[in-house]
Amino acid sequence: MPASNSLRPLVADTVEESSVTCHRQQGVTVNMMLNAMDFKTVARGKLPQESWDYLHSGAGDEFTFQENEAMFSRIALLPRVLRNVSSVTCATTVLGHSFDVPFYVTGVAMGKLFHKDGEKCMARGVSKCGVAMGYMVPSLASCGLRDIVASMGESLPRWYQLCVHPNATTTDRMITRVVNSGFTAMFITVDCPGVGLRERDMRHKVSQNGGPKASGYSMAVSPYLALSMDWDSVAELTRATKAKAKARGRGIDIFLKGITSLHVEFAVLADLRPTTTYAMLPGFDAPRNEATQQP
């Protein structure tokens, strides 16, 4: 959908317009936002510039970021006519959970850049939105795991996105907390051993609590990502996680998050690893990797 179909009067193209835009948006409600571009437009007007640049930045010159959006304009559907559509549903089952739609809210780090309650607000929102779907808790959350879990509705699937820490002991403690908190799926991020060169974000100095830290979000989190991750590391993490869950009488599904459909070699390797359960395709790779093909 072209951006022209969104709430255009709410877009602020200059610094001078931004205050007017924010004022106009005070009366905007969720019911007034009819498509994804509307949410994007309203967020741009409401968020501080540094928060927006983190949320909406891509790696490098953002060619991959732009291509990711452009790909949707090249998708053509072949409608089938004369089909009985009197009873249509988008409901499905994901990992044993009944979803109203095949969607989930993925893990977005640094939640307090967007709301004072950070990931707690996200967990509450997904739980109370009236649509059964999933929420993935990020490793680099700005709220404690216990507080996030307490904000999740009882029926909300507990999924966790694991960014492997360079310190093995720290990673093991993270996994223990995840298992003890009743998470039923863990998504090991494998497509960003290092952070992307997100230049727009790097122009701002942010940290998890909004205080000063050099070179924006990207550089702030880089010490928390293991550069040594390989297939053996994944196998060991999977074994350790499943053993911890089994000791508590539970099961846990393990995903490799970030293997694209174009990485045939990676998909085959993942399939050959008996400890790995699933490979998860990324929605897009633009924030971390420039000049990459998208799934």
Structural domain contains residue 144: yes
Return the bridge partners of 36, or none: none
Structural domain contains residue 35: no
Structural domain contains residue 121: yes
Structural domain contains residue 165: yes
Strands 97-99 and 92-94: antiparallel
The pair phi, psi for residue 108, each rounded to 5°, is: -115, 115
Asked whether 160 and 188 are in contact (CB, 8 A), the reply is no
Over residues 173-201, mean pLDDT: 83
Using pLDDT thresholds of 50, 70 and 90, give the confidence band for residue 160: very high
Helices (H) and strands (E) in the chain, counts: 11, 8
Q: Residue 295 pLDDT > 80, yes or no?
A: no
Which CATH number belongs to the domain containing residue 271 in this structure?
Answer: 3.20.20.70
Structural domain contains residue 140: yes
pLDDT in tens, 40-82: 899 988 898 888 888 887 777 788 778 877 888 888 889 899 9
Residue type, 82: L
Structural domain contains residue 70: no
The pair phi, psi for residue 279, each rounded to 5°, is: -115, 135
In terms of residue numbers, what domain contains 262? 86-280
Asked whether 251 and 245 are in contact (CB, 8 A), the reply is yes
Structural domain contains residue 9: no
Helix (H, G, I), strand (E, B) or coil at 250: coil
pLDDT in tens, 94-108: 888 999 998 899 888
Query: How many structural domains compose the chain?
Result: 1
Using pLDDT thresholds of 50, 70 and 90, give the confidence band for residue 279: low
The whole-number pLDDT of residue 182 equals 94
Distance from C-alpha of 240 to C-alpha of 70, rounded to nearest angstrom:
41
Helix (H, G, I), strand (E, B) or coil at 197: coil
Over residues 183-193, mean pLDDT: 86
List C-alpha distances in Å: 88 to 14, 35, 79, 85, 97. Answer: 44, 21, 15, 6, 20
Structural domain contains residue 30: no
Q: Pick the residue with more confidence: 5 or 193?
A: 193
